[in-house]
Amino acid sequence: MSNKKAFRLKGIIILLLLIFLALITALYAIGTFDSGKPSGKADHKQTSQGSKKPEDTSNDQTLKIEALVKKTFSLSKDGKVVHTAFISGKTNRKEVNEKWGKPNHISQTARGKYEEYDKYHVVFGYTGEIVNDIRSYVSEIQSISLNEIKKAGGKPDQVRYYQDATNNQIILVYHVTTKTDLLWILPKPTDQNSNPKVDHISVFTHVDKQPNQHLSRSETKTISEMSLEEKIGQMVLAGIYGTTVDTNTQNLINQYKVGGIIFYQDNLANPVQTVQLVNQIKSKSDPSLPLLLSVDQEGGRVTRLPGGLVNFPPNKSIGEVNNLEFSYKVGTILGQELKAFGLNLDFAPVLDINSNPANPVIGDRSFGNNSEVVSRLGIQTMKGIQSQNIITTIKHFPGHGDTSVDSHLDLPIVNKSLKELKELELIPFERAINNGADVVMVAHILLPQLDAKYPASMSKTVMTDILRNQLGFRGVIITDDMTMGAITDHFDIGQAAVESVNSGSDIILVGHDYNKVVEIISSLKKAVLNGEISEQRINDSVGKILALKNNYGINNAKVRNVNIGKLNKSITNLLNEYQNK
């Protein structure tokens, strides 16, 4: 090889070496190589375990939340929540108290007793002594968003809403087993925040009550000491005749031991007479079993109290104002009216949606034809009445707004499916139940797609399957007046009462006719004695009634003369305040 060629080859080799060195330097600079780690796998491991790109960190967090949501769904099927070993539907209160100590707070609601443990961010609800509701507020759960729940859990079986002075929430309900629901509670989505984070979760189990399980010790003792006649009497709320305590009224109280009285305008001539009548009835009743003293005081065209009280506008007008504070204050004054006259139970508010313009019985008694307006205003009116320690009644379940027949005269028929009812009529009732409704009045309407034989007030499908089991109502169920044409023209009234109790009602309302009250009480007693109604079924209803009376501290305390002027001033000021807005 010539010197010239050798020199040229040497130059090429040097050039290649320089290129190779430059390449190695570049690779080191971008981190492809690492000292002692010649392969690319080691470098990948360092990237995943050491410093991460922002998108990788975000990815990991998304995967963690997705896993947490799936874990939450999985645990709920066993009645559990994360970081809590107790089981909804199985654990008893004693076990919780022994392991976690005394709760920080204890509260009593219409749905039962709740115990809060601040340290663990958990609240337990109880049916009797059994945990039936575990609510978790742990920070991990609160990092989950609405979209992440739906992505992992799919479409919820139900969507509920809750609103009070400080909360406006949406509740996603998943039926994870036949008895257990997983509820995700979040702020209601808005334009500003369409994907809110979880406030808390609830694993709620429908616990089958054992005999007297839902009662306090004193209530259990009371029931055990009551005669059958006394227990059946508690389940009847009767109308009376006239403006004084006559022989029949005295018999209802002392002989038949009725649990309550309903007053109509014919009983209430003026404030002085009304106070005398109420005080006289209280003096006749058993102090250990005080009476429910009730009236239909809705405002608008359904008002019973005397004395020239300034009347509130009908609910339809209140619905047009559509102001939560106004509705709450109206409810507050309605409660004050009953309280002033010594009464303790108001058959209000009306939660029917006025969806049928031809409806002869609801009309302007409804807040409107919109489920959202009826729900929001009805609940605030209910809370206002309750604020005065007056028991409320939401009516007329499952919705009387789409009827064209007056149930006072005949039996209305509503040909709607359960799905259709859930999309409209049931919405206000479900929300009110979730907000602590005390009593639900069931209407005399026939819904052939639910029960072709019996109206709602006699239907197990409506009262037990839907109202109790699906909507979770744990309070007192009362029928509409059984002396209405919808019942008396189609059924034997005594047997209708028996069917109603067996289907789930707790109180039979008999608004008129002393003889019909006696007939119903006699029919119920006969049905228990011949085994048609179990005495345990009676005890279950009496337990709910006594618990309601105890929760509100019902007693026989007398009242003084009513200050009509003071009440009217409050009403006028309120109406003027919102008329000018």
pLDDT in tens, 54-69: 556 677 888 889 999 9
Average pLDDT over residues 221-228: 86
In a domain, 262, yes or no: yes
In a domain, 287, yes or no: yes
Instruction: Report residue 551's pLDDT band, with 50, 70 and 90 as the boundaries.
Output: confident
pLDDT at 359: 64
360 and 321 in a common domain: yes
Catalytic residue among 43, 78, 406, 408: 408
In a domain, 407, yes or no: yes
162 and 233 in a common domain: no
Write out the two tokens for 82.
């994360």
221 and 114 in a common domain: no
Asked if 130 contacts 89 with a C-beta cutoff of 8 angstroms, the reply is yes
pLDDT at 218: 64
Catalytic residue among 199, 402, 480, 481: 480
Model confidence pLDDT, tens digit, residues 376-435: 999 999 999 998 999 999 998 998 755 555 555 557 788 889 999 998 999 999 999 988
pLDDT at 47: 39
205, 228, 249 — which closes off a domain? 205
Rg (alpha carbons) of the chain, rounded to whole number: 33
Question: Distance between CA atoms of 343 and 261, rounded to whole angstroms?
Answer: 10
Average pLDDT over residues 564-580: 90
Q: Is residue 211 reached through a cis peptide bond, with omega within 30 degrees of 0 on the bond before it? A: no
Q: At what angle do helices 247-254 and 514-529 cross, to 10 degrees?
A: 20
170, 205, 240 — which closes off a domain? 205
169 and 240 in a common domain: no
315 and 168 in a common domain: no
Alpha-helix residue ranges (DSSP H) falling in 387-476: 418-423, 426-434, 460
Percentage of the residues of the chain whose pLDDT score is greater than 90? 64
Question: Distance between CA atoms of 319 and 377, rounded to whole angstroms?
Answer: 7
Average pLDDT over residues 165-172: 83
pLDDT at 37: 34
**Structure pTM?**
0.67
Residue 287 CA: distances (Å) to CA of 88, 323, 343, 549, 553 = 38, 41, 16, 12, 12
174, 205, 236 — which closes off a domain? 205
pLDDT at 510: 97
pLDDT at 12: 65
Asked if 115 contacts 180 with a C-beta cutoff of 8 angstroms, the reply is no
In a domain, 577, yes or no: no
In a domain, 270, yes or no: yes
What three-state secondary structure class fits 222? helix
Q: Which of 149-163, 181-195, 415-429 has the lowest mean pLDDT?
A: 149-163
Question: Distance between CA atoms of 390 and 392, rounded to whole angstroms?
Answer: 6
pLDDT at 219: 67
**Displacement of CA 137 from its chain's centroid (Å):** 20
- CATH (domain of 294): 3.20.20.300
DSSP tally for the chain: helices H, then strands E: 20, 16
Q: In which order are the strands placed within the sheet that holds 391-397?
A: 476-479, 439-442, 391-397, 345-346, 292-295, 260-263, 236-239, 508-510
The closest alpha carbon to 570, from 399, 332, 403, belongs to: 332
Active site residue 83: no
Model confidence pLDDT, tens digit, residues 433-464: 988 899 999 999 999 999 999 999 999 999 99
Percentage of the residues of the chain whose pLDDT score is greater than 70? 83
Task: Give CA angle at 333 (393, 440), nearest 5°.
Answer: 5
In a domain, 533, yes or no: yes
Residue 215 CA: distances (Å) to CA of 129, 209, 292, 477, 548 = 9, 10, 19, 17, 11
> Regarding beta strands 180-187 and 200-205, do their DSSP bridges make them parallel or antiparallel, or are they unpaired?
antiparallel
Write out the two tokens for 233.
């009497």
271 and 185 in a common domain: no
Question: Distance between CA atoms of 425 and 353, rounded to whole angstroms?
Answer: 6
82 and 223 in a common domain: no
Question: Distance between CA atoms of 75 and 196, rounded to whole angstroms?
Answer: 23
Question: Distance between CA atoms of 327 and 332, rounded to whole angstroms?
Answer: 9
Active site residue 246: no
431 and 545 in a common domain: yes
292: left (phi over 0), alpha (psi -120 to 50) or beta: beta
In a domain, 162, yes or no: yes
Q: How long, in residues, is the chain?
A: 581
Instruction: Report residue 354's pLDDT band, with 50, 70 and 90 as the boundaries.
Output: confident
Model confidence pLDDT, tens digit, residues 480-516: 999 998 898 899 999 999 999 999 999 999 999 999 9
Backbone angles phi, psi at 257, to 5 degrees: 55, 40
| Domain housing 457 | 217-571
407 and 551 in a common domain: yes
CB atoms within 10 A of CB 215: 22
In a domain, 296, yes or no: yes
The dihedral built from the CA positions of residue 46, 49, 50 and 53, taken in this order, carries a sign that is positive
What three-state secondary structure class fits 174? strand
Model confidence pLDDT, tens digit, residues 29-48: 444 333 333 333 333 333 34
Task: Provide the domain count of the chain.
Answer: 2
307 and 187 in a common domain: no
194 and 291 in a common domain: no
467 and 369 in a common domain: yes
Model confidence pLDDT, tens digit, residues 288-345: 899 999 999 999 999 999 999 999 999 999 999 999 889 999 999 999 999 999 999 9
Average pLDDT over residues 216-233: 82
Mean pLDDT computed over every residue of the chain: 86
Question: Distance between CA atoms of 278 and 271, rounded to whole angstroms?
Answer: 11
What three-state secondary structure class fits 525? helix
Model confidence pLDDT, tens digit, residues 83-128: 999 999 899 888 999 999 999 988 765 456 789 999 999 999 988 7
